[in-house]
Amino acid sequence: MSAESQESTRAALRQHLETERLLGVSEVPLPPVERLGSTAAVVPPAEVQARREALDRIDNERVKVCTRCALSQTRTRTVFGQGSPAARLVFVGEAPGHDEDMQGVAFIGRAGQLLTRMIEAMGLSRDEVFICNVLKCRPPDNRTPAADEIAACSPYLFEQLTILQPEVIVALGAPAAQTLLKSTESIGRLRGRFHDFYTSGTPLVGEPTPLMPTYHPAYLLRSPGEKRKAWDDLMKVMDHLGLPIPEQYR
Ligand code: URA
């Protein structure tokens, strides 16, 4: 299905649900959530609900009230991340910027708009994937996260990934890739190939998840000549997930 027809189906569904709501329908029983792609597994509704509740608990009971590092004193809002609890694909960025800090939603500023276009170019929507960051609070002036901030905050990210059990993780930029892979390699050297990610945080303990590091959208806005490399990385992810690669990119 093309991106356009997906959007018009979504618009029609939204309109239908709005009409139902006006008619007093407050609940719609849902069939199992189909995950994306031809070989996609199905996540049963009870599992989706359990994941949603587990994520909400971390956000509401721990992240929103977190004082583990000094960023809690300068943040406006925490930014937990958002998307589908049944997502096959999770994007991990660095930290909230100004717009995210104001609104409490990940990747909604200029870099976020580019990420949205990248996701849509993959034939997906933001609602189908999950988008979050290493840090849940904005570093002042958008500086790079400090080591102590990453140490304090990244356990939330590891918990999110343990709950979501995605089939693939895309790490956007060096802080995300280095934190998840426990590496000090540059993003230029890490990107472009799948690495094994372990939610246990310990290599070889538990089942690995394929993780693709690529350039951060904010870097791509500064260096548009690198967009092709990022797109090549995302096409490897699409291939892994069995998503169709548009003709013009093959
Ligand atoms: N940059 C990030 O890494 N994350 C956001 O949410 C926004 C900008």
Asked if residue 39 belongs to a domain, the reply is no
Q: What pLDDT was estimated at residue 34?
A: 47
> What are the CA-CA distances from residue 2 to residues 38, 122, 151, 153, 222 (Å)?
15, 11, 42, 38, 30
> What are the CA-CA distances from residue 3 to residues 20, 110, 143 (Å)?
26, 21, 35
For residue 5, is pLDDT > 80?
no
Q: From the alpha carbon of 106, which atom of ligand 1 is closest?
A: 6
Radius of gyration of the chain (CA): 18
Domain of residue 181 covers: 74-242
Q: Which residues have C-beta atoms less than 6 Å from ligand 1?
A: 93-97, 100, 106-107, 109, 111-112, 133, 218
Q: CB of 79 within 8 A of CB of 96?
A: yes
Q: Which single residue is written with the structure tokens 């009971």?
A: 61
For residue 68, is pLDDT > 90?
yes
Task: Give the mean pLDDT of 211-228.
Answer: 98
Long-range contacts of 124-129 (CB under 8 A, 24+ apart): 124/36, 124/89, 124/243, 125/6, 125/10, 126/82, 126/83, 127/83, 127/84, 128/36, 128/83, 128/84, 128/87, 128/89, 129/83, 129/84, 129/87, 129/88, 129/89, 129/90, 129/91
Longest Cα–Cα distance in the chain: 57
Query: How many angstroms is it from 39 CA to the middle of ligand 1?
Result: 31
Asked if residue 191 belongs to a domain, the reply is yes
Query: How many angstroms is it from 110 CA to the middle of ligand 1?
Result: 9
Task: Give the mean pLDDT of 189-193.
Answer: 98
Task: Give the mean pLDDT of 25-33.
Answer: 58
Asked if residue 64 belongs to a domain, the reply is no
Nearest CA to ligand 1 atom 7: 107
Q: From the alpha carbon of 134, which atom of ligand 1 is closest?
A: 3
Q: Domain total for the chain?
A: 1
Banded model confidence at residue 35, pLDDT cuts 50, 70, 90:
very low
Asked if residue 111 belongs to a domain, the reply is yes
Q: From the alpha carbon of 107, which atom of ligand 1 is closest?
A: 6
Banded model confidence at residue 39, pLDDT cuts 50, 70, 90:
very low
Q: From 102, 133, 142, give the residue whose CB has the most ligand 1 atoms within 8 Å, as the site to mutate.
A: 133
Kindly report the pTM of this predicted structure. 0.84
Per-residue pLDDT reduced to its tens digit, 104-134: 999 999 999 999 999 999 999 999 999 999 9
Asked if residue 249 belongs to a domain, the reply is no
Q: What pLDDT was estimated at residue 38?
A: 39
Task: Give the mean pLDDT of 189-216.
Answer: 89
Asked if residue 235 belongs to a domain, the reply is yes
DSSP string, 59-101: IIIIITT--SSTHHHH-SS----EE-TT-SEEEEES---HHHH
Of the chain, the percentage scoring pLDDT greater than 70 comes to 83
Q: From 107, 138, 141, give the residue whose CB has the most ligand 1 atoms within 8 Å, as the site to mutate.
A: 107
State the CATH number of the domain containing residue 185: 3.40.470.10
Task: Give the mean pLDDT of 89-96.
Answer: 98
Asked if residue 128 belongs to a domain, the reply is yes
For residue 202, is pLDDT > 70?
no
65 contacts: CB under 8 Å, gap ≥ 6: none
Per-residue pLDDT reduced to its tens digit, 233-249: 999 999 999 999 877 77
Task: Give the mean pLDDT of 79-91.
Answer: 98
Asked if residue 55 belongs to a domain, the reply is no
For residue 79, is pLDDT > 90?
yes
Query: How many angstroms is it from 184 CA to the middle of ligand 1?
Result: 20
